[in-house]
Amino acid sequence: MASQQHNGSLFTGQEGILPPEGVYRDARGEIINLPPFPTVGVLVINSRRTAVRGNHWHANESHLMYVASGRMLYIEEDENGELFTLEMGAQDAVVSPRGRAHCTVFLEDSVIVVLSDADRTGRRYEDEVVRVPPLNERLDLSRYGLGR
């Protein structure tokens, strides 16, 4: 499900998905090199099918979200209020740029790894995040077995 690199601008179709830099397999298993991203903090987030996360934007942070397992729908809003979506699966990544409203809707139980370019410890995260009305509620998600 890989395609061209996301440069921080809005995407169309699947072009915002970043493939791994490399996947190396042998009898012991595999090593996956994530796309390069300036990283200050790393989070591992487990989400159940139908969970919604985000519905906010960051004043001082951007982050790369890597799907380790499962599937999710990434939703991003442009400055005119138009929504763009990416359906992502295992080994896909996307950059959520600073100042851009976004959310994720999990289409199955999933594990994602988030690389952040800012310190998210303590109150820092909540102090810089700006909540928005649910982006996912503005879309018809029935084809995923969700919502209307």
DSSP letter assigned to residue 3: -
Q: Does the pLDDT of residue 130 top 70, yes or no? A: yes
Question: What is the number of residues in the chain?
Answer: 148
pLDDT at 148: 60
pLDDT at 19: 86
Give the number of other Cβ atoms within 10 Å of residue 24's Cβ: 10
Task: State in Å, rounded, how far the first CA of the chain is from the last one.
Answer: 26
pLDDT band for position 5 (cuts 50, 70, 90) = very low
State both tokens at 139. 């879309």
pLDDT at 124: 86
User: Which pTM value belongs to this model?
Assistant: 0.86
Q: Does the pLDDT of residue 4 top 50, yes or no? A: no
Residue 52, beta-bridge partner list = 105
Q: Does the pLDDT of residue 3 top 50, yes or no? A: no
Domain residues of the chain, as ranges? 22-132
CA distances from 119 to 23, 125, 128 (A): 28, 8, 11
CA distances from 135 to 42, 53, 55, 65, 89 (A): 25, 10, 6, 18, 20
Over residues 87-129, the pLDDT tens digits come to 999 999 999 999 999 999 999 999 999 999 999 888 888 889 9
**Fold observed for domain 22-132:** Jelly Rolls (2.60.120)
pLDDT at 93: 95
Percent share of the chain, pLDDT over 90 = 74
Over residues 14-24, the pLDDT tens digits come to 457 888 889 99
Q: Does the pLDDT of residue 136 top 90, yes or no? A: yes
Over residues 18-55, the pLDDT tens digits come to 888 899 999 999 999 998 899 999 999 999 999 999 99
